[in-house]
């Protein structure tokens, strides 16, 4: 999903001449992160997200997957436009819940322009809102997510149990061969989740583990990029894994990256040539005819990971509203053949993009 | 041959406002009988015919046709009239926009009878081959022939003729009177002819004089 | 089978012998049904189109929140979103802009632009979303982009990627056509752009026109609406889509009802024609019916036969009428538009929809009217005494039955009483009933009046000196007045309606003309190309106009629409300088005004149009509040009532200074200019055109405005004129039909006259004279009746349906010409039909009895 909004953000620059065009900040190496300010929004950058994925467990020990994502997008709007409706910042949110008993995702999405206190991404600390959906970081570092989607609700509390993980070079994360193709990126793995979900008329108390990604940038994708594959996992031994690759239109690898932090806090980062994705089994969506490599082998340096989905159909089909289609779902991992833990995988660019 | 009277009038009274027209009139007409009724103007000849036809009802007294009481109610009287009576008028009264055949067929239609007798009757009154003519193509005598055919076409038991030759010249009158008589006899009907004309009356079997005392037979001695 | 054969024979016989009468009867029914059906079809098409177009703007919205003012503060939007029951709130800013490039060819060339938040509109009005080019998806949010409906693109002849120039007041704005709409209502001219861009580009920051709400499924909509309405107070309106339908319906209702009544008049004229021709036919066929009765046809059979004969005419006429009506509606929609030229539904192109239910209804109405018209004669024929009916001369007993002076008097009396009753549901029902009763009463009185007039004439006649033909004619008319009156009915009905319409239209037109002279005192009027423009002239621009060297005096007028009742169309608020000491100098006041001493200092005087009195109960001295001020407590007092022929939904005038003080709105919509002496209008106009904003101005000379207004007036009465012509045609056909039918019933009488020595020529003269005398009587009666009806139209129907009054003006010359024309036509008709009367075999005519 990140990818699609990045692409959209790209399109925003194809605009006409404005009397007072907004100026976007560049992503440069050597930034020193400051918290809690950097938990808050960075409206000078074109795109930014709060991206939570994770596994939940019901009192009956049934596993569920969930995703809560908020995007902030700066559009190319004339600064002279003093209307409170001026669409200079958009908030986009996607939420999903995977239950193998249902066999497909429950999901919902919203888009709104900021303003009137109805939708915003505040600076200073994490505080994003889109109508009745909120994601808030309290002063003690605990996140509160409150989502009332069409088919389900989630009210979750996410408590950090590990330090922040700055991606790339102290949070400067390259996304392509060019230096400007980069973002500021940090993660919070092993967030301890507790709360409740309700769907199909049932209220269920849940606990679990989640992963938060925070990323912002103004320009970062290679024009040849066709999609990307991404995975994050809070592993059973307390280590954390994140890997992604950006695919070209000819299915080649334009860029890749992985990081593995063990429970003791030792961080291993891997360069593009040390990371590779290898599809093992594909699944074809009957809805969209898109074919996703739902079972995949990932090599990070000497380590081989095998990824298997909680269920095959974790496709988000929002062609009717936002017009986007991608696969994002709960997966289990084995490390060199041994069960290693659970994570979330995102597969985008497997269907022709439909504009919204 | 039945001996039942075709028409029985018993103690008929009829007045118009304060003028008494008929009082205590009784008469019985046998089957096959052909009578002429004469009388002064205003003595009630037309009234009598209207009463018999059921077009008017008596103040008191009974009228029976073929043994059936003539009802006062219009619908029932009409149905009785339609079946048992035939009419010949002084003014012919032929519908101008219907052909001769259609005119003659009217009683058959109204009585739900087969139409084939209409052309037979037209032929029998001497108008064969003119079925498709319209009344305006005919002379007065010819019109009255149509009327005679129409009066008899549905085999009524009783013919009422009111001055049938009043609008005709002498020669035609004689012809028409003969025709009326022969057709009535040929169809075994009874008839009452109301007329001022003595020669016309004399074609009947019997002449009756209507005055304020009732119907009285007139001698036929002078009959030529 | 036999009875059917009999029916067929009789039908064929009647058809062969009286083809002309049958055809005329069929034509009369046809015209009546056709006109009624046409008007129904056009109105249904217009109203349904208007509703569909309005509804398409609200999409699937459950509730629309708007203010009584055109716009309101946007802070309501987040407030509404807070409610649990509200699933989505879609804010809308509706802006009407002018299209300067179309100003040359069209009056008030406006385009409606909807400013939408696409993310909110997505689930409420998805059809109205702009569809940008595939490579420019963010055009949907661009502040220079506009999305046009196909009809708008066609109207403006632009394509995606091109630009359009729009104007708001004197400001011109260029917008880029970024694409079309997802699914616009067919034929609807509309544009969509981002709401933020719209607020900014059109100087409407902070303003919304309405908010469309989508409520939670299962929420109690009524309860929520009640709660919200209480919370928002009286300056906001909550409407559902059916309320908009109601508004659309009300907008054209008065016009529609009045047209429908005219169509009914045509239909009932047809019914009368059937009635009179059936009476004559019954008289003519009296002995035939008697014969059939004697031969054994029952009363019921005969009644059925007659009703069937006429029913068939009704079926034929109604079917033809439906076909003609559909054709006329198609043509009228194509050439005149949905409002038949009245200008009620601009920017829409309605399609004609077949309406089987209405077709059946009008079909039955046509047959019903025919059967009704023949019921009385048929009943009489079936119940006549056959024995006496067989005798000649008995037709006069029929006519005796038609002498009903008591019924006539009752009708006339009730009619007069009805003129005093108020409207029902805003419609002048009693006024129309009064007209119907006066017509019926006059017709019923005709035999009596006719007899009265001609017997009086006969008495005063000096027979020794008078012309024998004249004596004969008068004698006959006096003695056979019933028969004569039947011929007269057609003339009476059509001529009286013609007179009534002529007087009403003339009075109206002269009143409008006088009114225009009073409301247009200045030399020049100017306004931006759109009417009631929200921006209009800015204070700076007003200054430029006022200080122009050619201009002696300038009055600025601010005009805004106000909603006082959500079910009714908006009223207009006009703020202008009004002479404080004598408001009558500025306004066309109708009644005594409230003396300025009686205006309390804490209230502000307003002057309301007559419509406001009828529609909202605004009486002189009444204190009210109005929804346009920032202070909702401010009270106004009604200081006077003025006549307004321009705005039938109501208008309010007030001092411009009061308006500015209350609203802070210093813009002006129109300007009235007096030019300095010695400067020609032409020079002044050129000078104004040379102003910086000169090319988006519509500058009208007073004379020009008057000409345009009167042209529009005449156009809206075009249909009325057409209906009048039809009514006259039907009336004359009636004259011809009844004259020729009477000739046939009088064959014997005329033959007798020939026998006693009148020449053919003399008989024709006599018949023509009779026709002339009769028509003269009809025209005179029609004139009196018509004047009476016109008084009802002027003083009851118009004030009650359009809420304006007018003065009576008699178009004497025109009336005289019409009277002569009808008289001439009747005399010619009588003369022409008299030829038939003397052409037959007279000898035969005397002897023949049938």
Q: How far is C485 from chain B (nearest CA, A)?
A: 27
Ranges of each domain in chain C:
22-60+246-402, 63-239, 532-668
How far is it, in rounded angstroms, from Cα B83 to Cα C174? 94
Q: Is the pLDDT of residue C549 over 50?
A: yes
Which of B13-27, C78-92, C342-356, C691-705 comes out lowest in average pLDDT? C342-356
Residue of higher predicted confidence among C538 and C347: C538
Return the half-sphere exposure (C-beta side, CA atoms, 13 A cut-off) of residue C116: 29
C595-606 pLDDT, tens digit each:
878 888 888 999
pLDDT at C847: 43
* Paired tokens of C487: 């011929």
B46-78 pLDDT, tens digit each:
888 888 888 888 888 899 988 888 888 888 888
Q: How many CB atoms lie within 10 A of CB A272?
A: 17
A70-108 pLDDT, tens digit each:
999 888 777 788 899 998 899 989 999 999 999 888 989
Minimal CA–CA distance to C345: which of C105, C44, C558?
C44
The partner residue sitting opposite A83, judged by closest CB among C78, C136, C199, is: C199
pLDDT at C850: 35
Which residues of chain B make contact with C849, given a CB cutoff of 8 A? 91-93, 167
Cβ-contact C297, C398 below 8 angstroms: no
For residue B149, give the CATH number of its domain.
Answer: 3.40.50.300
Minimal CA–CA distance to A275: which of A295, A312, A320, A305?
A305
Residue of higher predicted confidence among A78 and C453: C453
Residues 6+ apart with CB under 8 A from A90: A71, A72, A73, A75, A111, A112, A113, A114, C119
Q: Is the pLDDT of residue A355 over 50?
A: no
Cβ-contact C86, C227 below 8 angstroms: no
Mean pLDDT of C79-91: 91
Cα separations in angstroms, B3 against B7, B33, B34, B35, C811 = 12, 11, 15, 17, 85
CB contact (8 A) between residue C387 and residue B81? no
What's the pLDDT band for B39 if we cut at 50, 70, 90?
Answer: confident
pLDDT at C337: 62
How far is it, in rounded angstroms, from Cα C797 to Cα C426? 10
pLDDT at A342: 94
How far is it, in rounded angstroms, from Cα B43 to Cα B213? 10
Mean pLDDT of C322-340: 78
Mean pLDDT of A256-272: 92
Given the DSSP bridges, would you call strands C145-148 and C171-181 parallel, antiparallel or unpaired? parallel
Which of B152-166, C465-479, C607-621, C696-710 comes out lowest in average pLDDT? C465-479
With pLDDT > 90 as the criterion, what percentage of chain A qualifies? 62
A276 DSSP β-pair partners: A299
Instruction: Tell me the Cα Rg of chain B.
Output: 17
Length of chain C: 850
Cβ-contact C350, C53 below 8 angstroms: no
C192 DSSP β-pair partners: C114, C147
Return the half-sphere exposure (C-beta side, CA atoms, 13 A cut-off) of residue C61: 29
How far is it, in rounded angstroms, from Cα C772 to Cα C834? 12
What's the pLDDT band for C446 if we cut at 50, 70, 90?
Answer: confident
SS3 C427: strand
Mean pLDDT of C661-670: 88
A10-61 pLDDT, tens digit each:
444 444 455 566 778 888 898 999 989 999 999 999 889 999 999 999 999 9
Minimal CA–CA distance to C485: which of C497, C476, C496, C477?
C477
Q: For the whole prediction, is pTM greater than 0.80?
A: no
Minimal CA–CA distance to C211: which of C421, C383, C58?
C58
Triad C409, C411, C412: Cα angle to 5°: 65
Q: Is the pLDDT of residue C89 over 70?
A: yes
Residue B203 lies in a domain: yes
Residue B2 lies in a domain: no
SS3 A14: coil
CB contact (8 A) between residue A355 and residue C137? yes
SS3 C318: helix
pLDDT at A354: 36
Which residues of chain B make contact with C281, given a CB cutoff of 8 A? none
pLDDT at C473: 82
Q: What is the DSSP string of B129-143?
A: T-TT--GGGS-HHHH
Which residues of chain C make contact with B92, given a CB cutoff of 8 A? 849-850
Which residues of chain A make contact with C197, given a CB cutoff of 8 A? 81, 83, 86
Evaluate whether the domain defined by A2-14+34-347 bears CATH number 1.10.10.10.
no
Q: How distant is the alpha carbon of residue B143 from its chain centre?
A: 16
The partner residue sitting opposite C78, judged by closest CB among A8, A12, A118, is: A118
Q: Is the pLDDT of residue C216 over 80?
A: yes
The partner residue sitting opposite B78, judged by closest CB among C3, C290, C296, is: C296
Instruction: Report DSSP state, residue C240.
Output: -
Q: How distant is the alpha carbon of residue C222 from its chain centre?
A: 36
Mean pLDDT of A256-266: 93
Q: Give me chain A's average pLDDT, please.
A: 87
C258-280 pLDDT, tens digit each:
667 666 766 766 676 667 767 77
pLDDT at C596: 78
pLDDT at B56: 83
Residue B172 lies in a domain: yes
Mean pLDDT of C694-709: 84
Cβ-contact C208, A99 below 8 angstroms: no
Cα separations in angstroms, C83 against A121, A131, A313, C217 = 22, 11, 36, 14
Ranges of each domain in chain A:
2-14+34-347
Which residues of chain A make contact with C77, given a CB cutoff of 8 A? 116
pLDDT at A113: 92
What's the pLDDT band for C68 if we cut at 50, 70, 90?
Answer: confident
Q: Does C83 reach chain A within 8 Å, measured CB to CB?
A: no
- Give me the domain span that covers residue B101: 7-218
pLDDT at C384: 79
Mean pLDDT of C794-816: 87
What's the pLDDT band for A304 if we cut at 50, 70, 90?
Answer: very high
What's the pLDDT band for A166 if we cut at 50, 70, 90?
Answer: very high
Q: Is the pLDDT of residue C91 over 80?
A: yes
Q: Is the pLDDT of residue A239 over 70?
A: yes
Residue of higher predicted confidence among C675 and C491: C675
How far is it, in rounded angstroms, from Cα C552 to Cα C676? 5
Q: How far is B223 from chain C (nearest CA, A)?
A: 32
Cβ-contact A217, A178 below 8 angstroms: no
Residue of higher predicted confidence among C210 and C646: C210
Domain count, chain B: 1
CB contact (8 A) between residue C294 and residue B87? yes
Which of B183-187, C217-221, C293-297, C669-673 comes out lowest in average pLDDT? C217-221
How far is it, in rounded angstroms, from Cα A52 to Cα C610? 67
Which segments of C110-193 does DSSP mark as H helices, in order?
Answer: 118-121, 150-156
pLDDT at A14: 47
ipTM above 0.90, yes or no: no
Mean pLDDT of B110-136: 88
Residues 6+ apart with CB under 8 A from B156: B83, B84, B85, B86, B107, B189
Instruction: Determine the residue among B73, B90, B98, B194 to mutate to test chain C binding: the one whose Cβ has the most chain C Cβ atoms within 10 Å.
Output: B98
Chains in contact with chain A (at least 3 beta-carbon pairs closer than 8 A) = C
What's the pLDDT band for A356 if we cut at 50, 70, 90?
Answer: very low
Which of A100-114, A328-342, B208-222, C169-183 comes out lowest in average pLDDT? B208-222
A125-142 pLDDT, tens digit each:
999 999 989 999 999 999
How far is it, in rounded angstroms, from Cα C401 to Cα C383? 12
Cβ-contact C611, C651 below 8 angstroms: yes
* Paired tokens of C581: 């000491």
The partner residue sitting opposite A112, judged by closest CB among C119, C136, C137, is: C119
Residues 6+ apart with CB under 8 A from C226: none
Which residues of chain B make contact with C17, given a CB cutoff of 8 A? 96-97
Which of A112-116, A202-206, C516-520, C733-737 comes out lowest in average pLDDT? C733-737
pLDDT at C395: 59
Q: How far is A101 from chain C (nearest CA, A)?
A: 27
Minimal CA–CA distance to B7: which of B64, B54, B55?
B64
pLDDT at C843: 44
CB contact (8 A) between residue A83 and residue C205? yes
Mean pLDDT of C53-63: 77
């Amino acid at each position: 999903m990140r990818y699609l909004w990045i692409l959209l953000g790209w399109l925003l620059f194809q605009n006409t001449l404005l009397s007072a065009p907004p100026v976007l900040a560049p992503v440069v190496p050597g930034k020193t992160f400051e918290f809690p300010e950097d938990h808050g929004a960075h409206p000078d950058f074109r795109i930014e997200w709060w991206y939570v994925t994770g596994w939940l467990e019901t009192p009956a020990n049934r596993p569920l997957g969930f995703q809560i994502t908020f995007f902030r997008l700066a559009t190319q709007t004339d600064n002279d436009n003093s209307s409170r409706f001026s669409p200079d910042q958009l908030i986009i949110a996607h939420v999903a819940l995977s239950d193998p008993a249902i066999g497909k995702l429950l999901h919902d999405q919203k888009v709104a322009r900021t303003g009137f206190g109805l939708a915003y991404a505040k600076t200073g600390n994490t505080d994003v809102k889109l109508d009745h959906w909120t994601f808030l970081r309290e002063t003690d570092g605990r996140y509160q997510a409150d989502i009332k989607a069409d088919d389900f609700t989630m009210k979750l509390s996410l408590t950090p149990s590990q330090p922040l993980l700055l991606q790339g070079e102290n949070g400067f994360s390259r996304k392509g061969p060019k230096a400007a193709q980069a973002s500021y990126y940090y993660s919070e793995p092993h967030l301890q989740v507790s709360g409740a979900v309700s769907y199909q008329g049932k209220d269920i108390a849940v606990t679990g583990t989640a992963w938060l990604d925070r990323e912002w940038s103004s320009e970062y994708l290679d024009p040849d990029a066709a999609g990307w594959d991404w995975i994050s996992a809070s592993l059973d031994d307390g280590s954390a894994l994140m890997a992604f690759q950006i695919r070209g239109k000819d299915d080649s690898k334009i860029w890749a990256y992985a990081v593995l932090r063990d429970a003791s806090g030792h961080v291993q980062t891997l360069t593009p040539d040390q990371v590779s994705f290898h599809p093992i089994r594909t699944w074809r969506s009957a809805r969209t005819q898109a074919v996703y490599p739902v079972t995949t082998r990932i090599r990070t340096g000497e380590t081989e990971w095998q990824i298997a989905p909680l269920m095959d159909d974790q496709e988000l089909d929002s062609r009717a509203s936002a017009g986007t289609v991608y696969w994002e779902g709960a997966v289990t991992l084995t490390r060199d053949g041994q069960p290693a833990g659970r994570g979330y995988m995102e597969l985008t660019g497997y269907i022709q993009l439909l504009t919204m | 041959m039945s001996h039942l009277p075709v028409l029985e009038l018993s103690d008929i009274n009829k007045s118009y406002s304060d003028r008494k027209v008929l009082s205590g009139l009784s008469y019985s007409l046998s089957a096959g009988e052909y009578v002429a009724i004469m009388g002064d103007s205003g003595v009630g000849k037309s009234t009598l015919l209207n009463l018999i036809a059921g077009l008017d009802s008596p103040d008191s007294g009974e009228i029976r046709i073929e043994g059936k009481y003539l009802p006062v109610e219009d619908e029932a009287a009409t149905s009785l009239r339609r079946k048992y009576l035939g009419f010949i008028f002084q003014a012919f009264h032929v519908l101008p926009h219907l052909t001769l055949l259609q005119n003659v067929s009217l009683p058959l239609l109204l009585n739900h009878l087969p139409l084939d007798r209409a052309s037979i009757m037209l032929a029998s009154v001497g108008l064969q081959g003119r079925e498709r003519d319209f009344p305006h193509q005919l002379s007065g005598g010819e019109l009255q022939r149509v009327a005679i055919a129409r009066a008899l076409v549905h085999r009524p038991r009783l013919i009422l003729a009111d001055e049938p030759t009043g609008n005709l010249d002498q020669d035609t009158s004689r012809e028409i009177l003969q025709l009326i008589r022969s057709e009535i006899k040929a169809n075994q009907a009874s008839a009452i002819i109301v007329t001022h004309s003595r020669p016309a009356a004399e074609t009947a079997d019997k002449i009756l004089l209507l005055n304020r005392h009732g119907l009285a037979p007139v001698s036929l001695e002078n009959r030529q | 089978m036999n009875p059917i054969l009999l029916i067929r024979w009789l039908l064929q016989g009647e058809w062969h012998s009286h083809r002309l009468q049958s055809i005329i009867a069929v034509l009369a029914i046809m015209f009546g049904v056709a006109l009624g059906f046409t008007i129904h079809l056009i109105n249904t098409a217009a109203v349904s189109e208007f509703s569909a177009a309005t509804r398409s703007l609200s999409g699937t919205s459950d509730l629309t929140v708007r203010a009584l003012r055109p716009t309101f503060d946007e802070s309501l939007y987040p407030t509404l979103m807070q409610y649990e029951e509200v699933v989505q709130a879609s804010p809308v800013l509706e802006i009407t802009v002018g299209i300067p490039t179309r100003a040359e060819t069209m009056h008030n060339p406006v385009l409606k632009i909807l400013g939408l938040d696409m993310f909110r509109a997505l689930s409420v009005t998805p059809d109205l979303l702009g569809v940008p080019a595939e490579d420019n998806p963010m055009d949907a949010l661009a502040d220079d982009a506009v999305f046009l409906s196909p009809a708008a693109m066609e109207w403006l002849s632009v394509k995606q990627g091109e630009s359009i120039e729009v104007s708001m007041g004197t400001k011109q704005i260029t917008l880029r056509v970024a694409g079309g709409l997802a699914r616009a209502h067919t034929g609807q001219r509309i544009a969509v752009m981002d709401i933020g861009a719209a607020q900014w580009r059109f100087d409407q920051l902070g303003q919304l026109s309405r908010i469309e709400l989508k409520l939670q499924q299962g929420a109690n909509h009524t309860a929520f609406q009640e709660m919200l309405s209480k919370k928002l107070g009286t300056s906001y309106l909550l409407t559902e889509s059916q309320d908009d339908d109601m508004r659309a319906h009300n907008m054209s209702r008065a016009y529609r009802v009045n047209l429908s009544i005219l169509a009914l008049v045509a239909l009932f004229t047809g019914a009368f024609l059937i009635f009179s021709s059936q009476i004559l036919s019954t008289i003519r066929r009296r002995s035939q019916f008697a014969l059939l009765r004697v031969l054994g046809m029952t009363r019921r059979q005969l009644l059925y036969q007659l009703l069937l004969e006429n029913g068939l005419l009704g079926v034929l006429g109604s079917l033809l009428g439906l076909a003609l009506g559909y054709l006329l509606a198609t043509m009228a929609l194509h050439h005149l538009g949905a409002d038949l030229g009245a200008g009620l539904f601009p920017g829409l192109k309605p399609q004609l929809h077949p309406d089987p239910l209405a077709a059946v209804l009008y079909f039955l109405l046509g047959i019903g009217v025919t059967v009704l018209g023949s019921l009385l004669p048929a009943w009489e024929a079936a119940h006549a005494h056959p024995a006496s009916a067989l005798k000649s001369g008995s037709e006069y007993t029929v006519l005796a039955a038609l002498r009903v002076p008591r019924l006539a008097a009752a009708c006339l009396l009730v009619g007069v009483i009805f003129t005093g009753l108020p409207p029902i549901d805003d419609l002048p029902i009693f006024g129309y009933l009064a007209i119907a009763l006066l017509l019926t009463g006059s017709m019923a009185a005709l035999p009596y009046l006719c007899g009265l007039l001609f017997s009086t004439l006969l008495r005063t006649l000096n027979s020794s000196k008078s012309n024998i033909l004249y004596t004969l004619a008068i004698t006959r008319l006096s003695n056979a007045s019933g028969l004569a009156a039947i011929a007269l009915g057609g003339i009476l009905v059509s001529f009286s309606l013609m007179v009534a319409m002529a007087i009403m239209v003339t009075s109206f037109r002269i009143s409008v003309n006088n009114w225009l002279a009073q409301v247009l005192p200045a030399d020049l009027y100017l306004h931006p190309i759109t009417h009631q423009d929200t921006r209009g002239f800015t204070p700076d621009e007003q200054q430029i106009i006022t200080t122009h060297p050619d201009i002696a005096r300038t009055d600025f007028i601010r005009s805004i629409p106000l909603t006082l009742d959500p079910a009714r169309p908006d009223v207009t608020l006009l703020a202008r300088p009004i002479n404080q000491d004598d408001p009558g100098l500025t306004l066309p006041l109708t009644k005594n005004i409230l003396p300025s001493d009686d205006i309390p200092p804490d209230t502000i005087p307003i002057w309301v149009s007559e419509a406001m009195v009828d529609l909202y109960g605004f009486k002189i001295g009444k204190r009210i509040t109005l929804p346009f001020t920032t202070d909702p407590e401010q009270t106004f007092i009604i200081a006077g009532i003025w006549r307004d022929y321009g705005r039938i939904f109501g208008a309010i005038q007030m001092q411009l200074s009061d308006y500015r003080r209350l609203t802070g709105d210093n813009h002006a919509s129109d300007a009235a200019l007096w030019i300095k002496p010695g400067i020609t209008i032409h020079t002044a106009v050129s000078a104004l055109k040379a102003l910086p904003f000169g090319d988006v101005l519509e500058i009208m000379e007073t004379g020009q405005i008057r000409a345009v207004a009167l042209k529009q007036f005449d156009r809206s009465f075009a249909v009325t004129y057409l209906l009048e012509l039809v009514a006259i045609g039907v009336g004359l056909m009636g004259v011809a039909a009844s004259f020729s039918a009477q000739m046939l019933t009088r064959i014997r009488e005329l033959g007798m006259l020939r026998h006693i020595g009148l020449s053919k020529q003399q008989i024709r003269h006599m018949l023509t004279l009779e026709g002339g005398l009769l028509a003269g009587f009809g025209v005179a009666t029609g004139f009196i009746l018509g004047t009476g009806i016109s008084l009802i139209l002027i003083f009851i129907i118009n004030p009650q349906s359009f809420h304006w009054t007018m003065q009576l003006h008699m178009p004497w010359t025109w009336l005289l010409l019409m009277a002569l024309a009808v008289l001439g036509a009747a005399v010619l008709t009588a003369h022409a039909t008299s030829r038939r009367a003397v052409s037959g075999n007279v000898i035969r005519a005397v002897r023949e009895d049938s």
